Amino acid sequence: MIAIIQARVSSKRLPGKVLKKLNNLTILERVINQVKGSFSKKNIIVATSLDKKDIAICKICRKNKIKYYRGDLNNVAKRYFEVLKKTKKDSFLRVCADSPFIDPVLINKCKKIFYKKNPDFLTNVLPRSFPKSQSIKIFN
């Protein structure tokens, strides 16, 4: 399993939010650090776009030694598909880059359930049982 963090600078509601800083770290760096509590660096990939604004995301990934993939700005599903094709992984955790407080303990609990039950899809969103910033979605 890999963790795919979807990130782009061109947010509609708050453009550049993944680059905003909280205590000297960008939102994206905070998300990466939280996900590292559940995944090794080699199993974390940031999926961003080919938009030139998203070069800043690539720089953050390089600085933090995190892999990234650049693809279609508007087709997020295609970005995920391309990452899975490249990594040859069958399952992934979907993480939004604007969830700086995503809980690695919760991620680990969901991973444990996923490995034990082997569903096609596991989430704590249907029905919503945690706050929005704690949304877990694992796909097989």
Q: What is the pLDDT of residues 54-85, one digit of tens each?
A: 999 999 999 999 999 999 999 999 999 999 99
Q: What is the DSSP annotation of 115-133?
A: HHH--SEEESBTTB-S-GG
Overall domain count for the chain: 1
- pLDDT for 44: 98
Given the structure tokens 């030139």, which residue do they identify? Answer: 52
**R_g of the chain computed on alpha carbons:** 14
The secondary structure of residue 105, as a DSSP letter, is: H
Which domain covers residue 47, as residue numbers? 2-139
- pLDDT for 97: 93
Min mean pLDDT across 12-21, 22-31, 46-55, 83-92 is at 12-21
- pLDDT for 11: 81
Q: In the predicted model, what is the mean pLDDT of the chain?
A: 95
State the CATH number of the domain containing residue 134: 3.90.550.10
Q: What is the DSSP annotation of 12-49?
A: SSSTTGGG-EETTEEHHHHHHHHHTTTS-GGGEEEEEE
